[in-house]
Structure 1
Amino acid sequence: MAAVMRILSYLKSAPGRDKRSISGYFTFVGGNLVTWRSKKQNVVSRSSAESEYRGIAQGVCEILCIRWLPAEIGFRPDVATKLHCDGQSAFEIANNPMQHDRTKHVEVYRHFIKEKLEHKFISIPFVPSSEQIADMLTHVVSKRQFENSLNKLGITDIYAPT
C-alpha cells in the first residue's frame, strides 16, 4: 500500500509531464542565423520517428515563411532549402515516396512534406546526431557538443581570453 501511495503522490505532483516531445530548429539565410525555436509538441507521439516527423513538418512551415519574404520582392531561390534531419526513421519516411503502413498516423504530414520535396522547395539531407546543432534546443548535450554548436552558429564568447 505504501508503494501505491508513493506512486499516486508522484502522479499528483507531476501534472503535465505527459511525454510530449520538444521540437527545435535554427533557420539560416545566406549562412546567417535568422530564427530559432524550441517548442513542446501539441500531442504525444507514439514513436520517436513520429516525433521527428512532426518536427520536420514544423521546420518546413518555417522554411516556407522564410522563402516567402524574398519572393515578395522578386528574388526566388533557385535551389531547395536544406532541412537537416538526424532521425534515421523520419529521414527514410521523408525521402521514400512509397506509402507505408507505419506512416498512417502521420499521413497528413507525409503528404505535406512530400509535396514540398517534389516542388524542390526543400531537401532533407541526413546529418548525424553528433553534428545536429538543434539538439541543444531540445535536450541536454555535452559541453563539447554545446561549444561546437555555438561555433557553428557563429556565437563567440567576447569575454574569453585570446
Structure 2
Amino acid sequence: MELNKKLGLNKNSPLVDRERYQRLVGKLIYLTHTRPDITHAVTVVSQFSSQPNKEHMAAVFRILMYLKSSPGKGLYFKKEANRGIEVFTDADWAGSIVDRRSTTGYCTFVWGNLVTWRSKKQPVVLEVVLK
C-alpha cells in the first residue's frame, strides 16, 4: 500500500470491471497464506469488492508490482515425513503486572509447517479466592 494512502468510496472515480477486480483480490487473499507481508493491504482492498473504482484497482496493481519485485519472500512449506497436525497452547496466569490480565496463545503446525498462530490478552480479570 502507498504510505498514508486512505482508500474510500470515491463517487467521482469511474468504476472498473467488478468481476476482474474480485478475481484478482481473491487470488491475493489465497496468496496471503504464504505471504503475510501483504495481508493488511489485501484486507483493505477486499473491502471494496462490491463497487471497485480506478483508485482501488490501482492499489491492487501496486500490490502485484510489490509481489513481482520481491520474489522468494514469504513462508516456505517443506515436505516432511511427519504428516500430522500439532497444536501448542500456553497461558500465563495474571502475567501482566499492570492490570493482572492473562495472555493466551496458540500455534498450529500441519506436516511440520507453521500455519496459524495467535496471542491475545484476556479482556477480563478473574479473581480466585482461596479459602
TM-based fold match above 0.5: no
Bigger share in helix: 1
TM-score by length of structure 2 reads 0.21
Bigger share in strand: 2
TM-score by length of structure 1 reads 0.18
Rg larger for: 2
Per chain length, whose mean CA-contact separation is higher, i.e. which structure has more relative contact order (CA < 8 Å, sep 6+)?
Answer: 1
